[in-house]
Amino acid sequence: EAGVVQSPRYKIIEKKQPVAFWCNPISGHNTLYWYRQNLGQGPELLIRYENEEAVDDSQLPKDRFSAERLKGVDSTLKIQPAELGDSAVYLCASSFSGTGLTEAFFGQGTRLTVV
């Protein structure tokens, strides 16, 4: 199994341009997370989905960031317009929120550089 798949792996854009990241979670995982990880820091939660519903988006800068998870499977995270401070690694993770083990599995991340 490929695990959580993210694309692209790397993205370089000019400030004020839009950018989108894609995530395909592990099959059957109903919970999906987007995190942002700045250099030397831990992952910071942006948004959490339970199936297709965003249940926690309190940390998502809604003026420029948006996310969707259509049909409760794949998800996209968009930034429009990007700012220099958005340069970071964007991580997607998924888990199964039921009884038993609920560990989160991570993708490789998308490294965004805004110039």
Partner 1 sequence: AQRVTQPEKLLSVFKGAPVELKCNYSYSGSPELFWYVQYSRQRLQLLLRHISRESIKGFTADLNKGETSFHLKKPFAQEEDSAMYYCALRGAALIFGTGTRLQVFP
- E runs forming strands in the chain: 5-7, 10-13, 19-24, 31-37, 44-50, 53-56, 65-68, 75-79, 88-95, 105-106, 110-114
Shortest Cβ 41–partner 1 spacing (Å): 6
Closer Cβ to partner 1, 102 or 113, answer by number: 102
Positions touching partner 1 (CB under 8 A) are 3, 33, 35, 40-45, 48, 56, 91, 93, 95, 101-109
Closer Cβ to partner 1, 57 or 74, answer by number: 57
Closer Cβ to partner 1, 39 or 70, answer by number: 39
- Residue type at 2? A
